[in-house]
A and B are shown apart, each in its own frame.
Chain A
């Protein structure tokens, strides 16, 4: 039996389902992210674990005990909010010690634990500051220390980095992961940022319209998406409407050209299917044993470490990502170019 289990969890708001049949088992010490667009039910699910929302049906169990209807202040669950939610009238140390003080722990213990927590987030020198005297990143670190000070069974984070600058976001993300690993704490993390979810988690749950689309390790989610939604939401994707030429070899036709997909196809000859491939699998030039397509360069976007190039191939647009290097010859807009990609990079889904 897993440590934290959600059984067929559903939540309905005024007739419409915000979360439908959510079923997940989280192991002790695991880091799981809920990823999806806004309104997909990820925060509602998190709030049901925290006890702020009562499920319409289903069950939440922690270490075998039923938590479903337990009030939030009796669950011993640590929560970190997007808005930090630090108590403005208390210093950093008082904020961190609040949970233990509420529990009526002796003063020595509270002080010791606060000190330990502030060392963990490397903010010991700021213990006497008030929240308004701290930067956003510092405030969120204090909020994390406050949630961890009560030694919660589970740590819940609701878009904790969304209000921060890009650079701080990446730094704090690594810090959250370091602390989570150090304390071996079971963590559920909600985000709409796919890069964040992929980089930080042991497993990712992709959600859409209240339902779980796919659960898996980041590598699996990115490279082997099981639904069209996951494929489209996570990362950039080329989706080409192609016609099956030969099902056994996986050959398909596209804009008067043809190429091979990763294997035999279920669809019959002449049927339309969707061929998918990631922009980073494409490259310029001809490579032996690979597919080739000819296209016209439409735009060149220099993004730093990546260069994103859009080409028109027949009626469709194809995106190609090239890694930047100093010797790179950027193609010019309007040029004709040949692009190549290996057959194993292409997977096929039925066309909607």
Chain B
């Protein structure tokens, strides 16, 4: 009995040490900006930096646009594959995994090569470059968004729900926005927050497209400062946990629905 109790706790403790020691060390280090005393000086400096705010807001905006267009692309496509082309599912799954195989650096050079010369000259103004950036982000976040939507669709009887709505007189728009989307709330939210996390931290795309995003700012800070990057790391960790808490809070009701509906 005792033996069986001991080992699970041992592994749990080992895991906890593995995760929390670096975090605690980083946290401790971030408080050491002032000599001989703990202080929030590093945090203060980060938050006072105008570039921090502006680059964060820029990435947030890009992230939200990526989510918007990503959802509009992925949800109807995945829904259609589930409903009418179930045999294509393995192929679509493979396609959505490509961003894992193709390095972002290849993607960004490809984008620049294709869209910096006629007939598509898109790298000349910030606005058109942002379109390229969002396109690139959509590709990078594709596996995550697709997976969550796919899992969400698997959890419901897509065909029967569609046919029930059709027999009641609903057209495709009504079915998609009043029946399918509301039941994908958890899935879309999960995918959206993952996408946001990826976009906020992304470095390569924004760097090579020369846009003032949060990723390049963090990299720059990391190269030039000592205590501020640690403070940033702790802050982004906190934001991630806040986002996860948000998912949990917003989807509590729906988990029960999906769990109990079958």
Contacts and interface: CB of A to CB of B under 8 A. Distances in A.
Interface stretch (A98-106, A190-198, A227-235, A240-248): A98-106
Given A87-B161, A88-B183, A79 B174 contact: no
B183 A73 contact: no
A147 B167 contact: yes
Nearest to A103: B169
B157 A73 contact: no
A328 to B, nearest CB: 45
16 contacts: A71-B166, A72-B166, A73-B169, A73-B171, A75-B167, A76-B169, A85-B160, A85-B163, A87-B165, A87-B183, A99-B169, A102-B169, A103-B169, A143-B164, A150-B168, A150-B169
A87 B169 contact: no
A137 to B, nearest CB: 15
A146 interface: yes
Best-buried of A77, A78, A83, A87 by chain B (most CB within 10 Å): A87
A73 B166 contact: yes
Given A73-B170, A85-B157, 18 more contacts: A51-B167, A52-B166, A73-B171, A75-B167, A76-B169, A79-B163, A81-B163, A83-B160, A85-B164, A87-B161, A87-B179, A88-B258, A89-B257, A102-B169, A131-B261, A132-B256, A132-B258, A132-B261
Interface string B170-187: 110010000100110100
A79 B157 contact: no
B260 interface: yes
A153 to B, nearest CB: 12
A50 interface: yes
Given A98-B168, A102-B168, A102-B170, A88 B257 contact: yes
Best-buried of A71, A89, A98, A156 by chain B (most CB within 10 Å): A89
B163 A50 contact: yes
B164 to A, nearest CB: 4
B156 interface: yes
A133 interface: yes
Interface in A83-98: 83, 85-89, 98
A83 B167 CA distance: 15
Nearest to B181: A89
Interface string B131-158: 0000000000000000000000000110
B184 to A, nearest CB: 10
A177 B218 CA distance: 70
Contacts of A146: 164, 168
Contact of A79 (B167, B183, B259): B167
Interface in B200-236: none
Contacts of A156: 167
Contacts, number: 79
Interface of A: 50-52, 71-79, 81, 83, 85-89, 98-99, 102-103, 130-133, 143, 146-147, 150, 156
A146 B167 CA distance: 10
A83 B182 contact: no
Contacts of B260: 132-133
A79 B164 CA distance: 7
A102 B174 contact: yes
A130 B257 contact: yes
A43 to B, nearest CB: 12
A161 to B, nearest CB: 16
A50 B168 CA distance: 11
A89 B169 contact: no
Nearest to A71: B166
Contacts of B179: 87, 89
A253 B104 CA distance: 86
Nearest to B256: A132
B160 to A, nearest CB: 4
A133 B163 CA distance: 23
A143 B260 CA distance: 17
A324 B119 CA distance: 88
Contacts of A147: 167-168
Contacts of A133: 260
Contact of B183 (A71, A72, A89): A89
Contacts of B261: 88, 131-132
Best-buried of B161, B167, B256 by chain A (most CB within 10 Å): B167
A130 B166 CA distance: 21
A185 to B, nearest CB: 14
B165 A98 contact: yes
Nearest to A84: B160
A215 B169 CA distance: 32
Nearest to B167: A79
Interface in B24-69: none
Nearest to A139: B261
A89 B171 contact: no
B83 to A, nearest CB: 11
A146 B183 CA distance: 19
A147 B257 CA distance: 22
B126 to A, nearest CB: 40
